[in-house]
Structure 1
């Protein structure tokens, strides 16, 4: 009896040990592959997660990533040198710059440079646009000139406009429009019998014409560029027209006039300007021509004599050779009459003697 009980307990113990591994495998099947007894499960390698506040070594800090300046942004200046003010701005092309210069005499100027400082394009008062490079200056003859730039090419694309730096108050600003051709800029200046006057050229851009009126040499006009370089000259000997549209009319008179135009040829309409007048003391009055001496008949005692007039009247004498000849002729005639009368008396006396 006791032996049978021990056998039953042992059998139940072994049966429980056999069922336990199967239940364990079923319960943990969802967590991973089953492992056999005596085999260790593999473990994942440990990694150190980066800290949130520590930046990565290969990424630059946000402060080092500065955006490129926008076109028109002032990079340096303005720098004042007398009546010339310079300022550098960013170009619409990356890393390029534009130097803006405002000069009281020459007006605004813009110079575009690449990243190496090489000049790429220029615009100024004389040549206010470079459409191929996308730059131009508007209102070049005013105090509010502005510089325009774009990257699309052509002249229809929208421009980015930037004003030129302002000139100091004491400088002559280009607020007054450029004088029209023929406007007197200086003079007249008198030196003896030579009068000089400077007028604006119809070409603009600071070009001038010096008009000189000389009592002996006549009128003369000299065309000069903005730097004072002589481009053309017309005078009494060479009145034109010239290739740059200059000529003088009535060059041999006191009312000579200077004509100029920019269209070329001689058919275009001219802008006319009179030469400065000479002083009154230098203008010679026309001389009265000397008339030859004339004679008029004059009667003296029944005789007709000729009395000279004019410059020889003071030396006139009535007892002239011609008058003496006339007197001799009359005396001869009277003698002839006496002779004829004597002959007639003799003939009559002979006839009376014969009858008696």
Structure 2
């Protein structure tokens, strides 16, 4: 079948997207193409020659600032062309895909294609989830990105044969009728055809149940209350939750008594250790913890309630503006109000986030040294915890 497709008769198969049949050898394809410096919509300027993995030779010509043409040859015989004028175009020659971009770049791969498509959700090799749908008005097929169970809006085919899109790093092509759906992730060792998931969006991960309360709540001063909850990192790890009517909430992560990290009202997010405080400026703050980044759900606990009479702290009245500054309930800037974080050898990781903005790069961090060894010795399997890009807001 490959031999048959590599004849002049099979020109239309390579084209895929309004491919232009190539005349059987002529002055336009003589030697290495038109002479250097020649540029016109018919011939163009040869910029390079490529050989695809199946042996197909492709010559790329520039016809304008954002207008390129790729001429394909098999065994020296022309089998078709594809043009990208202001937007990318794609061709398929018996499962060998060629994408030509409007800036002259090319991308080619073999396979990674579904020919008998169904409307619904598909997962690409890099985990990207797309929905294949149909426009109810004109019947065109299209794709939309699915994030956290929600669609980001359909984009429908706009070319006679197939349309090219980029979702994240993945480059996808979709035939106008929807009967051919291919994808490729440049630079990734993992490649596969889109996998059909069904017709319903994947559910968003749900929050985990609250962490076990180990002790408290205990009133330590008139308007300060504490309690201790179990850390998600396992045996020997605890989190002390302190609610103070003036300083606000504070969460301190300890490993066998040693302070590892702190989150408070001034710094409510420590993603390296998976600590997060929400509603820090309200009377009902809550604490979240997790051991991994990405979409891993948090385990939430409410901070202990303040004793009666401490809900609305009363600021001291100044005697004179020059000598006494009014009291304030703003976050303190001393040693109690700032965030501290001591990462021991073998520190744990939950994925980096900065400030209140969660970042998207996950990386593995192997637990080691005293803290992690104690966890492994407890038989809880916390040998590897992922973290996201290190940093702190």
TM-score (normalizing by structure 1):
0.28
Q: Which structure shows the bigger proportion of residues in helix conformation?
A: 1
Q: Which structure shows the bigger proportion of residues in strand conformation?
A: 2
Greater Rg by CA: 1
